[in-house]
Amino acid sequence: MTETYNANWHDEPTDYAQTGKLPRIRTAPPESALGSLNITAASADPELLDLPWHIALEEWPTESLAALPRGISRHIVRFAHLGGSVIAVKETSEHVARHEYHMLRKLQRLDVPCVEPVAVITGRTTPDGTELDPVLVTRHLKFSMPYRALFSQTLRRDTLTRLIDAQALLLVRLHLIGFYWGDVSLSNTLFRRDAGAFAAYLVDAETGELYPELSSGQREYDLEIARVNIAGELMDLAEGGLIEEKVDPLATSELIMDSYRRLWTELTARESFELGERWRVNARIRRLNDLGFDVEEYVISTVADGSRIQLQPKVVDAGHHSRRLLRLTGIDAQENQARRLLNDMDAYRADNNNLDVDEEISAHLWVSEVFEPIVRSVPRELGGKLEPAEVVHEVLEHRWYMSERQDRNVPMAEAVQSYLDSELRHRRDEAEIMLTADSRTIGLDGDSSFPDS
């Protein structure tokens, strides 16, 4: 793959395919700093030069920072504004920063849920010439939260279970592509709401490695790391009285083992059935689709006497519903959100006698008559509460419960207004969770003024 860079920024070859290396961008330092910065990035962003790289990250001035909740990290991490987005800056060694940068880029090419790497910056010095640690820069994932930002006084058991299920699904997806994480934990994961569940995104890849395929031993070791780390995280919360008393940290940490193994078995196990039960081939594929996976290829074989059939899914890709929704409507959503919106799209098609209409035309009508009107109904000041697909999902759920309670078919406009007044106005902004100047940082002391999820 060829990487393209602004010619005014680089002094090394730009063809990644030919050199095997990303070009190192030479930039001028801030006037107050000595020496020069070396910035390795996928694309040149001059606004990176406006940040105070000549100051140790722990001492960055408030005006340079974006007040977002941070998870627990062994490194110094700060958030900063970069253009119209927010970046996370982590001080570490040059070797670790470059390894993690390249690993995140590989995971992005493989369509794995993870944060976007922006740059590696080395050559940092203070005005008096003291060397500072290199940094890794990643882009903050909009509408995402560390797990410690999902509670106020106590973390409910059902919310915790949904987080662990999302973590297990992420780990399965990573293992399917041959990625060994090496440091699985809730702290190294970000979570986004996904139609009543959560979608998990990898944040920290510094211990990760990609292999053609993982052995069962590698997978089990990663799973054991997850169990131990999650148990430790939950015990820490329990000591602070931040999870329900009925939650057993050790027993709860075992949930990831069960969730992971159930999903892994469904995705990869060989299934055997009688020759007359060939319908089970399609049933297995439908179950995989319901889990959000596509079967790209499968192997069917018969035993010697021809009386039984064995089915083995060979390659599975995640994002079945997301891809279908994107193909039909252009809407990019999480997997559960996509499943919910597709179900409503199918119901809309049936309710409007559009079953004979081309599916793509019907989908376009649904977008223009259902999805877009709901999104446009959200006032500007509420636009940062939830991402659009989650808002539409919640409106559809809200309308269903209203109709059930009132024993009538509640009009969409009435349901939308009710949802805005009774639900959305009271939600926190999840596009950017801003903290007051005197608030403590979530993730370091566990304090939060946010309502329970």
Q: Which of the listed ranges 81-90, 180-189, 276-285 does the model predict with the highest average pLDDT?
A: 180-189
pLDDT at position 298: 65
Q: Is the pLDDT of residue 6 over 50?
A: no
Residue-wise pLDDT tens digits, 313-371: 665 567 778 888 888 888 888 888 888 898 888 888 888 777 677 888 888 899 999 99
pLDDT category at 268 given cuts 50, 70, 90 is: confident
* Residues 162 and 260 both lie in one domain: yes
C-beta of residue 80 within 8 angstroms of C-beta of residue 119: no
pLDDT at position 121: 94
* Residues 160 and 89 both lie in one domain: no
Q: Is the pLDDT of residue 440 over 60?
A: no
* Residues 74 and 120 both lie in one domain: yes
pLDDT category at 443 given cuts 50, 70, 90 is: very low
| Phi, psi dihedral angles at 214 (to 5 degrees) | -95, 145
pLDDT at position 72: 58
C-beta of residue 107 within 8 angstroms of C-beta of residue 147: no
Residue-wise pLDDT tens digits, 365-401: 999 999 999 999 999 888 888 889 999 999 999 998 9
pLDDT category at 273 given cuts 50, 70, 90 is: confident
Residue-range definition of the domain harbouring residue 296: 270-318
Residue bearing the bigger pLDDT, 223 or 240: 223
Is 442 contained in some domain? no
Last residue of a domain, one of 139, 155, 173: 139
* Residues 262 and 274 both lie in one domain: no
Residue-wise pLDDT tens digits, 280-315: 777 877 787 777 776 666 666 777 666 677 766 665
Is 310 contained in some domain? yes
* Residues 345 and 422 both lie in one domain: yes
Window from 20-29, 47-56, 138-147, 170-179 with minimum mean pLDDT: 20-29
pLDDT at position 321: 82
Residues with Cβ within 8 Å of residue 164, at least 6 apart in sequence: 230, 252, 255, 256, 259
Classify the C-alpha dihedral 192-195-197-199 as positive or negative: negative
pTM of the complete model = 0.72
Q: Is the pLDDT of residue 138 over 80?
A: yes
pLDDT at position 21: 45
DSSP of 39-76, one letter per residue? EEESS--GGGGGS-TTS-GGG--GGG---------SS-
* Residues 217 and 308 both lie in one domain: no
pLDDT at position 2: 31
* Residues 215 and 296 both lie in one domain: no
CATH number of the domain to which 248 belongs: 1.10.510.10
Is 438 contained in some domain? no
- The total number of structural domains that make up the chain: 4
Is 207 contained in some domain? yes
Residues with Cβ within 8 Å of residue 286, at least 6 apart in sequence: none
3-state secondary structure at position 194: strand
